[in-house]
Structure 1
């Protein structure tokens, strides 16, 4: 299988997961990937696959490149309502760059909770790697690299 493009799920500064300020992400306990310090509210699908809402701040994606997790913020506990409004149904098969959710970061800030406002995109089963990625600022839907299955050499 040849590599496929992966797009930025949200506008912001994107770095490798080990650069996260949150140990859950930087330790790669949930898998390797990228973390994003968002500067926007619109979240889109980073890759084609089948999408499932796991809870109020997690989306799991089943793809040809393994299982991926979009982890939206940390520590939403204590909020009266979730700041994430989903725009898809469980089991929807989506193309890359399809609107997934809107995140009300202002609601998070107003709650005065110790919420880590990072979005993580992590490869849960470590089947693939992100290649041709350069840390930096990306626009929502902008190509940030390619996915390549581990053990498959790029032609």
Structure 2
């Protein structure tokens, strides 16, 4: 689903420390009970989904600690959730974490970074073309 861009354009990240931080400034739109994902909406209406791992919805929240709630205003680099990498790697199919633009505010196109490594809150992973 993600690799075919069915959800939208994005990048895939392999988390190293279990901390998931906001890639954009915006409002938290969605945090499922399974705690494996978080949706954000920027001021211009662009929506971004961070989906931690693949097949992680089946973990039913185990291994995740959420630090943001629906309606919270968050800044770039702000901690959104933490995950137990060892637990997730053992119980999910992959730790790969898609960060996807699910709704564009306008016709802007996005350019994805080709950085081999990124640091949360510091490295730009996508920009408007």
Question: TM class by shorter-chain length?
Answer: 0.7 to 0.9
Partner of 2:82: 102
Partner of 2:72: 92
Q: Which runs of 5+ in 1 are unaligned?
A: 1-23, 149-153
Task: Return structure 1 stretches of 4+ with deviation > 6 angstroms.
Answer: none
Structure number having the greater strand percentage: 1
1:71 corresponds to 2:25:
no
1:131 corresponds to 2:108:
no
Structure (1 or 2) with the larger CA radius of gyration: 1
1:83: how far off?
1.5
Partner of 2:41: 62
Provide the alpha-carbon RMSD of the alignment.
Answer: 2.2
Give the SS at the match of 2:53. Answer: strand
TM-score, normalised to structure 2's length?
0.81
- The aligned length equals 124
TM-score, normalised to structure 1's length?
0.69
Q: Which runs of 5+ in 2 are unaligned?
A: none
CA distance in 2: counterparts of 1:49 and 1:87, whole angstroms: 15
